[in-house]
Amino acid sequence: MKISKRSKTVSPSLTLSLTAKANKLRDEGIDVISFGVGEPDFSTPQHIVDAAKSALDCGYTKYTAVAGIPTLRQAISEKLQLDLALTYNSNQIVVCNGAKQALFNALQLVVEEGDEVIVIAPYWLTYPELVKLCGGKCVVVTASAENNFVPQASDIEKAITPRTKAIIFNSPNNPTGAVYSKQNYDEIAQVLSKYPDIWIISDEIYDKLIFDGNNHVSLAQYSELFLRTIIVNGVSKAYAMTGWRIGYCACPSEEYAKLISGLQSHQTGNVNSIAQRAAVAAISGENTFTEQMRQTFELRRNCMRDCLDKLTSISYVFPQGAFYYMVKVSQFFGKSVNGRQINSASDLAQIILDDTATVVIPCEAFGAPDFIRLSFATNQDCIRKGITRIQSVIEVIK
Ligand code: PLP
């Protein structure tokens, strides 16, 4: 039987396949340490779970409005007011199945066949796949380690062509941990303000995980950009709710939100009614959990730095947010470990997994083939033990 070209253009998620491999080893009783994890290792707070239970007990189990229940849309607009001082009425919010669907919806709203979408590398590996699914073409702008993985405004400008339809930003960033400062965004905003037809999709899913007392900044806060910026966010990372699948688009007009809701109505319809009730409790409830989790991640980040600093043959950029380190490993390409050649980050990741049962994520699929990504969404004991294991491999590279 013939299958569609579209289904074949998408690359399966590498992170998921490595995680599956690690789970298999774990099932075999092997003590696996995973630095591959892309989600907080905390349980969803009890008051959120209780809200879901009570939704079930009241029989809150029917279809809801596609764009989300009014209380959740309202809670999201209040959060945006509080955090970013931006005014969205609840009709400008669409609740989606995770930030992932929110991104897909936003791209579907704006991308025509053949349009160019600028993506900053290193990027979250899903962006290029979503752009492809929408018929768009990815144009990659690389943010170098020397610039702390923040793109230069001039490089963004060089990538703009008459076909540029949108640009995706992600701060705090997966996989780099970069957090764009107000000054970084001032420079970028200055360039983008010259190109009024370019949409901005701002993925802010890690907005609550920023370290060293810094603040989250959104391009939507620039008045000259607001009317063409779609904010994507959700509850997955901030409230340890990855499995609940609640994300959202905050649109600069009700009209766009209606169109997104129309697109979603024929794909998935509304998001799970029970999870929506839980998300109301998350977003509008007391928020000590998120702050405690953030502090824990900051300590783990520092712990991982102390461990990595003992490995003199590697380098990294100290992350300012999210929960990832990007470690440069291209200096090992062309060398070998006990007869096994390392020609890529994937080769090294495979050797580390085979020899030490430790999962690291090679970053080819993130547009950063010289790096591996280490997640610190795991406790400090595992961080120490895992880095020691990686060290045992790196020390014997010849
Ligand atoms: N955006 C980025 C940068 C992410 O890292 C992730 C998840 O890893 C998402 C979006 C997706 O979030 P969600 O689980 O809400 O779909």
Q: What is the mean pLDDT of residues 320-333?
A: 98
For residue 103, give the ligand 1 atom closest to its CA: 10
pLDDT of residue 14: 66
Best residue among 123, 236, 268, 272 to mutate for probing ligand 1, ranked by most atoms within 8 Å of CB: 236
In 3D, which of 133, 124, 249 has the Cα closest to residue 174?
124
Ligand 1 binding pocket includes 234 (Cβ within 6 Å): yes
Q: Does 159 have pLDDT greater than 80? A: yes
Burial 297-316 (b: 16+ CB within 10 A, else e): bbebbebbeebbeebeebeb
| Rounded distance from Cα 177 to ligand 1 centre (Å) | 14
Residue 158 has pLDDT above 90, yes or no: yes
- The answer to whether 110 and 229 are in contact (CB under 8 A) is no
Q: What is the pLDDT of residues 186-215, one digit of tens each?
A: 999 999 999 999 999 999 999 999 999 999
Measured distance between the N- and C-terminal CA atoms of the chain, rounded to whole angstroms: 49
* Ligand 1 site-directed mutation target among 105, 174, 231, most atoms within 8 Å of CB: 174
Beta carbon of 366 within 6 Å of any ligand 1 atom: no
Binding site membership of 247 for ligand 1 (Cβ less than 6 Å): yes
Contact partners, residue 4, CB within 8 Å, separation at least 6: none
Separation of 351 CA from ligand 1 center, angstroms?
28
Percent of the chain with pLDDT over 70: 99
| Share of residues in the chain with pLDDT > 90 (%) | 92
On the question of pLDDT at 377 being above 90, the answer is yes
Q: Whose CA is nearest to atom 3 of ligand 1?
A: 174
pTM of the model: 0.97
CA–centroid distance, 103 to ligand 1, in Å, is 9
- 337: tokens are 């470990």
SS3 state at 162: coil
The answer to whether the CB of 321 is under 6 A from ligand 1 is: no
> What is the 100 CA–ligand 1 centroid distance (Å)?
6
Residue 324 pLDDT: 98
Instruction: Confirm or reject: Cβ of 235 under 6 Å from ligand 1.
Output: no
Round to whole Å and give the CA distance between 72 and 69: 6
Ligand 1 near 233 CB (within 6 A): no
Per-residue pLDDT band for 10 (boundaries 50, 70, 90) equals: confident
User: What's the angle, vertex CA 70, arms to CA 66 and CA 73, rounded to 5?
Assistant: 85
Interval 65-104: pLDDT, tens: 999 999 999 999 999 999 999 999 999 999 999 999 999 9
| Rg, the chain, Cα only | 21
Check residue 270 and report its DSSP letter: S
* Residue nearest (by alpha carbon) to ligand 1 atom 7: 38
Q: How confident is the model at residue 22 (pLDDT cuts 50, 70, 90)?
A: confident
Q: Is the CB of 205 under 6 A from ligand 1?
A: yes
